[in-house]
C-alpha cells in the first residue's frame, strides 16, 4: 500500500510511474488525496469539538461549586449538542477513513525505475541466460506421458480423489519430489536463511498484509465457516510473522525459508499450456523471504537472484531470467525477476521462480517498522522469491534428463534420492 505522505508529495511522479502498468491512476490518486484532506479536516473539527466540550465540562463543575446552577444548566445543554456533533463527526471520520483505506488497497505499487514499459509477458526483458539445451531423441516424450509410462505421477488418480490439478506422486516420483524439497531447504539454510514451518491457512489480516487480499481474492481457496484462506504461497505466512512489529536497525537482514504446499484456484486456466504439472491447484514450493533495511533491499534482491542461479546451475537445467515489464508486474511488486527453465520435450520456457522487491508496499500494510539509529520509526522493505517451485522443475528434470534407459537424476540430487535413474 502506498504511503499517503508519498502520494501527497509526489502525486505527478506516482501517476507517471504507474503508467508503466498501463493504468490511468490519476482519478484514484486524486480521490485519495481528497479523501485524506477530508479525513484530516474532520479529525481536526472533531478534536476541536471534543476540546470545547471538555472545557465546558470543567466550567460546569466550577459553576456548580460556586452555586451558579442556572448558568451551569445552560452550559450543560451546550455540551449535549457538542457531544452529538462529535458523535456525528466520529461517524464521518470512520466512513471517510474506511473509504480511503479501501481505495489505497486498489492502487498497485509504483514500479522501480528499471522496470521496462510493456503490455504483457511478450514485453518482458531477458537479462540473463545460462545452460545448454539438450538434444533429445525424436521419440522424446513430454513429462505427463513419461510420468504415466513410468507410473511415478498419477494425474487421473488425483482427479478421482479431488479433481483436476491435484496430482498423486508415487514411488520414485514421490521420492524425487521429497529430494528436491530437502535439497532446496538445505541450500537455502546454508546461504543463511532460517528454516521455519508455518501454517498453511491464514486469516484475513495476513492476506491483506501481503496484498493477496483484496487483489487475488478470487484465486484463493476460502473456508467460510472459519474465515480462513488456504495459502497461495509461503510468502504470506512467513512475511506475516512480522506484522505489527517494530524492529531495531541492527536486526537486519532477516532471512527465512520455508517449505509449504500452495493452493491456487487458477480460475480460467485452460489449454495445452496447463497440461500435466504445468499448472496445478495444489503444488509444493520452497520460499525465501527477506526483511531488509531500505538502503540494502536492492542489493538483497541481487543476492536472491544469484542464489536461485546457483540452484538451477547445480541442477544443470537451462534457464533464463526476465525482468518483468510494467504490464506483467505483480500488483504489490516494485521490481520482479522471473526465472524460466527450458522444457525440451515441450519446446517452451516454463516459469519456475519469481524474485521480487516490494519496497514499503507490504510493510505499510503490515505495519512492519524499524527504529533507525536517529530514533525515528520507518518502514522496512520486504522481498521474497521461489527457491524453488517444484512442479515445473520436476517436469523439466523428467523431460531434459530422459534417455533411452530412463530418467537420469541430476547429480546433486542423487544423495537425496538414493537412486540415479528412474526406469
Share of the chain above pLDDT 90, in %: 86
79: pLDDT confidence band, cut at 50, 70 and 90? Answer: confident
Residue 143 is placed in which grid cell?
Answer: 513429462
Mean pLDDT (the chain, rounded): 95
Instruction: Tell me if 230 sits within 8 A of 283, measured CB to CB.
Output: no
321-355: pLDDT as tens digits: 999 999 999 999 999 999 999 999 899 999 999 99
95-117: pLDDT as tens digits: 999 999 999 999 999 999 999 99
**CA geometry: angle at 416 spanning 413 and 417, to 5°?**
85
Residue 188 is placed in which grid cell?
Answer: 537455502
Query: Does residue 111 belong to any structural domain of this protein?
Result: no
Does 346 lie in the same domain as 299? yes
Query: Does residue 391 belong to any structural domain of this protein?
Result: yes
Q: Residue 303, by phi and psi: left (phi above 0), alpha (psi -120 to 50) or beta?
A: alpha
CA 421 from centre of chain:
37
150-168: pLDDT as tens digits: 999 999 999 999 999 999 9
127-141: pLDDT as tens digits: 999 999 999 888 899
Residue 378 is placed in which grid cell?
Answer: 520507518
Domain boundary among 45, 75, 105: 105
Does 221 lie in the same domain as 131? yes
Q: Residue 335, by phi and psi: left (phi above 0), alpha (psi -120 to 50) or beta?
A: beta
Does 335 lie in the same domain as 196? yes
CATH of the domain at 340: 3.30.930.10
Summarize the confidence of residues 244-254 as an average pLDDT.
Answer: 96
34-57: pLDDT as tens digits: 999 999 999 999 999 989 988 888
Find out whether the peptide bond into 388 is cis, omega within 30 degrees of 0.
Answer: yes
Instruction: Tell me if 227 sits within 8 A of 205, measured CB to CB.
Output: no
73: pLDDT confidence band, cut at 50, 70 and 90? Answer: confident
Q: What is the pTM of this model?
A: 0.93
Domain residues for 65?
4-105
Does 33 lie in the same domain as 140? no
Domain boundary among 46, 71, 105: 105
Does 245 lie in the same domain as 172? yes
Does 140 lie in the same domain as 65? no
Residue 313 is placed in which grid cell?
Answer: 546451475
Please tell me the total count of domains within the chain.
2
Query: Does residue 115 belong to any structural domain of this protein?
Result: no
Does 85 lie in the same domain as 131? no
Query: Does residue 180 belong to any structural domain of this protein?
Result: yes
273: pLDDT confidence band, cut at 50, 70 and 90? Answer: low
29: pLDDT confidence band, cut at 50, 70 and 90? Answer: very high
In whole angstroms, give the CA distance from residue 180 to residue 393. Answer: 9
Summarize the confidence of residues 77-104 as an average pLDDT.
Answer: 93
Long-range CB contacts for residues 87-92, cutoff 8 Å, separation at least 24: 89/42, 89/45, 89/46, 89/49, 90/46, 92/42
359-395: pLDDT as tens digits: 999 999 999 999 998 999 999 999 999 999 999 999 9
Query: Does residue 113 belong to any structural domain of this protein?
Result: no
Amino acid at each position: 500500500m502506498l504511503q499517503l505522505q508519498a502520494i501527497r508529495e509526489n502525486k505527478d511522479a506516482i501517476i507517471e510511474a504507474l503508467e508503466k502498468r498501463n493504468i490511468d491512476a490519476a482519478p484514484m490518486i486524486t480521490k485519495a488525496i481528497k479523501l485524506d484532506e477530508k479525513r484530516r479536516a474532520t479529525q481536526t473539527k472533531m478534536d476541536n469539538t471534543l476540546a470545547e466540550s471538555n472545557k465546558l465540562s470543567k466550567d460546569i463543575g466550577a459553576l456548580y461549586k460556586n452555586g451558579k446552577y442556572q448558568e451551569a444548566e445552560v452550559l450543560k445543554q451546550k455540551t449535549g449538542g457538542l457531544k452529538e456533533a462529535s458523535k456525528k463527526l466520529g461517524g464521518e471520520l470512520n466512513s471517510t477513513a474506511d473509504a480511503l483505506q479501501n481505495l489505497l488497497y486498489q492502487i498497485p505499487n509504483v514500479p522501480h525505475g528499471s522496470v521496462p514499459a510493456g503490455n504483457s509477458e511478450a514485453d518482458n526483458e531477458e537479462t540473463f541466460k545460462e545452460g545448454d539445451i539438450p538434444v533429445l531423441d525424436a521419440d522424446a516424450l513430454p513429462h505427463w506421458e513419461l510420468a504415466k509410462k513410468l507410473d511415478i505421477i498419477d494425474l487421473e488418480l488425483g482427479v478421482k480423489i479431488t479433481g483436476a490439478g491435484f496430482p498423486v506422486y508415487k514411488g520414485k516420483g514421490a521420492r524425487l519430489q521429497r529430494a528436491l524439497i530437502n535439497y532446496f531447504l538445505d541450500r537455502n539454510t546454508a546461504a543463511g536463511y532460517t528454516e521455519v514451518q508455518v501454517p498453511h491457512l491464514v486469516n484475513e489480516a495476513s492476506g491483506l498484509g501481503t496484498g493477496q487480499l483484496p487483489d487475488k481474492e478470487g484465486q484463493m481457496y476460502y473456508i467460510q465457516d472459519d474465515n480462513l484462506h488456504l495459502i497461495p504461497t509461503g510468502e504470506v505466512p512467513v512475511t506475516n510473522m512480522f506484522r505489527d512489529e517494530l524492529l531495531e536497525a541492527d536486526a537486519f537482514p532477516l532471512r527465512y525459508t520455508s517449505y509449504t504446499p500452495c493452493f491456487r484456484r487458477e480460475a480460467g486456466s485452460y489449454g495445452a499450456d496447463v497440461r500435466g504439472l504445468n499448472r496445478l491447484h495444489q503444488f509444493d514450493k520452497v520460499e525465501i523471504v527477506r526483511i531488509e533495511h531500505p538502503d540494502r533491499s536492492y542489493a538483497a534482491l541481487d543476492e536472491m537472484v544469484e542464489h536461485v542461479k546457483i540452484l538451477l546451475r547445480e541442477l544443470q537445467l537451462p534457464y533464463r531470467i526476465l525482468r518483468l515489464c510494467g504490464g506483467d508486474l505483480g500488483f504489490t511488486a516494485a521490481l520482479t525477476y522471473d526465472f524460466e527453465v527450458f522444457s525440451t520435450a515441450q519446446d517452451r520456457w516454463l516459469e519456475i521462480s519469481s524474485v521480487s522487491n516490494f519496497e514499503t508496499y507490504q510493510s505499510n500494510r503490515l505495519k512492519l517498522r524499524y527504529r533507525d539509529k536517529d530514533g525515528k520509526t520507518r518502514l522496512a522493505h520486504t522481498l521474497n522469491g521461489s527457491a524453488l517451485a517444484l512442479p515445473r522443475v520436476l517436469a523439466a528434470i523428467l523431460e531434459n534428463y530422459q534417455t533411452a534407459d530412463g530418467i537420469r537424476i541430476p547429480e546433486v540430487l542423487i544423495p537425496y534420492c538414493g537412486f540415479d535413474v528412474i526406469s
